[in-house]
Amino acid sequence: MSSILEYLQSLDEKVINSVFCEPSTCLALLRLLQPLSKHVIMRLLFVGSVDLVVAAAWIYNEQRSALEGALASLRSFNIVKIENNKIVLNAQFQQSLRNALLGGSNTSSFGMPIESSKSKDSVTVAYLDAYAKESWEAVLHYLVGTTMSSQRPTAVMTLMEHSGLMAPSSKHGNELRITNKGFQFLLQDVNDQVWGFLLQYLEMAPKQLGMNPVDVLNFLFQLGSLELGQDYSVDVLTDTQKQMLEDLKHLGLVYQRKKKSSRFYPTRLATSLTSGASAGGSPGYTGYVIVETNFKVYAYTDSPLQISVLSLFVTLKARFANMVIGVLTRDSIREAYNNGISAEQIAQFLTHHAHPEMKRQLPPTVLDQIRLWEAERKRAVSRPAYLYSDFAKQSEYLSALHFARDLGYVVWFSDEKRMFAGSPEGHVRMKEYFAKKS
C-alpha cells in the first residue's frame, strides 16, 4: 500500500463500518479527501441523500466528470452509495461525523484530556519536539547503519525488514542493511516516512502482532486529532491501543514519562498525521550540498544523520564544525550500487539537497559520470549455458553451429576456437544431434 487512503479502500464493508463508529476517524478521513469529495459529504451530512439530478446542479456542466470522479472515490471508501438514482450517505459515517463536528456521543474518541497543574516539571511543546526529533532520527540512523545508532527495539527492526527498507546482507554477516527502497525512503517528507511505517504496522497488526486492526486504525486517526502539548489519559484506551503506545514511543509519535504512567503526550509527528501540516524541519529549510565539476562535495551541515546519508556514496575527507568535505569516486559510487542504491537516486538526492547557490542544477559531467559508473556493472550479464567444443574438423563445428543457430539456441560462439555455447533449453536437442552424427 502506498497511502492510508489505499489501505482504507482495500477494507471490506464490515470492517470499514466498524472503523466509521469512531467520530475522530471520520473527521480524519474527511480531512484527507479531495475538496470536491469533502463538498459532497458536507452537502449530504444533514439530509442523508439527494437525487443525482440535484447533485449535478451543484457544479458547472464542464466539471461533470470531476463530480463523477468524486462520487467514485467516495463509493470506494463505502462512504456513499448510489441507490434508485440517489446519492446516499453511509448512515454510520453520517452519525459519527455529525458527532465529531457538533459534539456528543463518544467523548473519548478524541482522547480524554487530563487537567494538569502547570509546574517546572510540565512537559512543554519544545520538549516534545526535541523528543520526537531525537527518536525519529534514531530510527533513521539505524536505517542508514551509523555507529551512532543503538540497538533498536525488535518492533522497529521487524518493521524495517517487513517494509523492505532493510534486508539481510551476506557481505555483512546477514546483518540488516539499507536497501534501494530504504534509500528512496530517506528522500521522502517526514509525514510520508511516518505514514510508510504506520501502513506497514497496520498490515502486520492482525497476524504478526495479534492486534485488532480496527483498534489500530482508530487510534492512529485519534492521534492525528489530538492537541499538541496536552496530556491524555491512558485508562480509556483499549488493550490493543495500550500495546501500541509502547511501539509508537520508539518512533517518537507519543511520549510517556514512565512505562506505567497513566498519561501520554502526542508529539508533532502524531498530531500532523491528518492535518497536512509539516511534521519536521523548519519553514526556512534550504539545501546544504555543493557539488563541483571536479567531483568534490561540500556539505554545510553538522547533522550526524545528513552526514551519514552522504557517506553512503561519498568518500569523506575532512570534517569541520559546520561542514564536511568529500569526493565522489568510482569506488564510493560502486559501493552504493552494491547496497542497492541507483544512479538516479543519488542524482535525485544531490539535486533535492542542493545548496541555493547551485540553483538545483548539478554539473552535467558529474551526473553523466555517475550514470557511466553504474553502466559498468551492466556490461556483462551471466546466464546458464552448455559449452560445445573439441570438434575434430571445421565442417563438424560449422554443421553443429548452424543446427543450433537455426533453432535459436546459440548464445555465444568462436570460429577461431571451434566452440559455441547453447542455452539449456536446447541441450536435449543438441545431444540428439550429436548422437545421430556419431
φ, ψ dihedrals at 137, nearest 5°: -65, -30
List 177's β-bridge partners, or say none: 167
E runs forming strands in 353-409: 386-388
pLDDT (0 to 100) of residue 282:
43
Lowest mean pLDDT among 189-193, 389-393, 395-399: 189-193
C-alpha 240/C-alpha 212 separation (Å) is 7
pLDDT (0 to 100) of residue 152:
65
Average pLDDT for the chain? 87
**Domains, the chain, ranges and CATH?**
4-105 (1.10.10), 125-271 (no CATH), 289-376 (no CATH), 386-437 (3.30.70.2610)
Q: What angle do CA 247, 249, 253 make, to 5 degrees?
A: 110
400-408 long-range contacts, CB within 8 A, separation 24+ = 400/430, 400/433, 400/434, 400/437, 403/430, 403/433, 404/430
Instruction: Tell whether the model's pLDDT for residue 320 goes beyond 90.
Output: yes
Cβ proximity of 168 and 175 under 8 Å: yes
C-alpha 250/C-alpha 256 separation (Å) is 11
Cβ proximity of 152 and 138 under 8 Å: yes
Instruction: Tell whether the model's pLDDT for residue 256 goes beyond 80.
Output: yes
Helix (H) or strand (E) holding 325: strand 324-327
Q: What is the pLDDT of residues 352-386, one digit of tens each?
A: 888 888 876 789 999 999 999 988 877 767 789 99
C-alpha 311/C-alpha 309 separation (Å) is 5
Over residues 222-239, the mean pLDDT reads 90
Q: What is the pLDDT of residues 67-115, one digit of tens each?
A: 999 999 999 999 999 999 999 999 999 999 999 998 866 667 888 888 7
Beta-carbon contacts of 165 under 8 Å, excluding residues fewer than 6 positions away, are 143, 178, 179, 181, 182, 185
Q: How far is CA 236 from CA 27, 100, 123, 213, 331, in A?
A: 20, 18, 21, 18, 56
Q: How far is CA 377 from CA 185, 371, 438, in A?
A: 24, 10, 42
Beta-carbon contacts of 341 under 8 Å, excluding residues fewer than 6 positions away, are 178, 180, 183, 312, 313
- Neighbour tally for 138: CB within 10 Å: 19
pLDDT (0 to 100) of residue 246:
87
DSSP annotation of 305: H
Q: Which tops the pLDDT comparison, 285 or 399?
A: 399
How long a stretch of residues is the chain? Answer: 438
